[in-house]
A = this chain, B = another copy of it.
Amino acid sequence: MSFFLLLCFLSVAFCHQQPLNTDLLPRALIIQLPGNLESDSLSEEVRLRCTGWRVAGEANNLSPWKTIPDECVEYVKEYVLGPSYEFDLQMVSNEAGRYAKSVDLNEDGMDAWIFDIDETLLSNLPYYAQHGYGSEIFDNIQFDKWVVEGMASAIEPSLKLYNEVLKLGFKIFFLTGRSEDKRDITINNLIKAGFQKWDRLILRGTEDHGKTAVEFKSEKRKEIMEEGFRIIGNSGDQWSDLIGSFISVKSFKLSNPMYYIS
């Protein structure tokens, strides 16, 4: 029951249309949190350390990690369910959109934008809410069960960006660590969430198993570039979506304090 309440809450949090102004700093969406999410119990010291840890992750300063620090579970929960996460997602969407509009596209139709899927276009927050917000070791069997339900909702600021870059004429590549056997459910989920159109959806084939995300995604970007595409923008919630070789002209790192993929 509480899971469904959470789903309702998340759908409210992520699915309404928030008018965004054009100031440098978008006006925050102040979501009224359910009382139990307002953790007055988080001491200033824990908040400081966990913010520091989160920001170090966003700046790609951390060595690989498997679970969030024990003391940061409440902090991460508060962050992802509260207004800050959505604000941060809006901010990166706005910055990416501004950049996309500044690009003088070539007329050959070969300017491309890459999007990762999980925690970039689609939110798995309901899953992670049921699994300790990153405090449990990742369980791919349980996660796959969630994925095949095809219930992930759009990350609304990314849907907005997607529509903008699509309209501007970029070729759209979805490049995901999901494996090929999830192709159909991924397509259905994307469409249901509002992502109706793309040029290519690239998933991990059998030949890609055992590769790190950095290796896999760099190889795929290489193939895309060798076809003559110019990868102008790249949006992902993991640094492994963005770094390695054959990187995009400009990368945009979406916030994600819940898990780390090498």
Contact = CB atoms under 8 A, between A and B. Distances in A.
A62 B83 CA distance: 20
Number of chain copies forming the complex:
2
A209 to B, nearest CB: 26
A248 to B, nearest CB: 12
Chain A binding surface, main DSSP class: helix
Interface stretch (A44-52, A124-132, A144-152): A44-52
B49 A25 contact: yes
Interface residues on A, range: 35 or more
Given A49-B87, A52-B84, A52-B87, A61 B25 contact: no
Interface string A187-230: 00000000000000000000000000000000000000000000
Among A52, A56, A58, A253, chain B packs the most CB atoms within 10 A around the CB of: A52
A98 interface: yes
Contacts of A96: 61
A92 interface: yes
B253 A95 contact: no
Contacts of A95: 56, 61-63
Nearest to A50: B25
Interface string A79-104: 00001100110011001101100000
30 contacts: A24-B53, A24-B69, A25-B49, A25-B50, A25-B52, A25-B69, A25-B72, A28-B45, A28-B48, A28-B49, A28-B52, A30-B45, A48-B83, A48-B87, A51-B84, A52-B84, A52-B88, A53-B91, A54-B55, A55-B55, A55-B88, A56-B91, A56-B92, A56-B95, A59-B253, A60-B251, A60-B253, A61-B92, A63-B98, A63-B99
Interface of A: 24-28, 30, 45, 48-56, 58-63, 65, 69, 71-72, 83-84, 87-88, 91-92, 95-96, 98-99, 251-253, 255
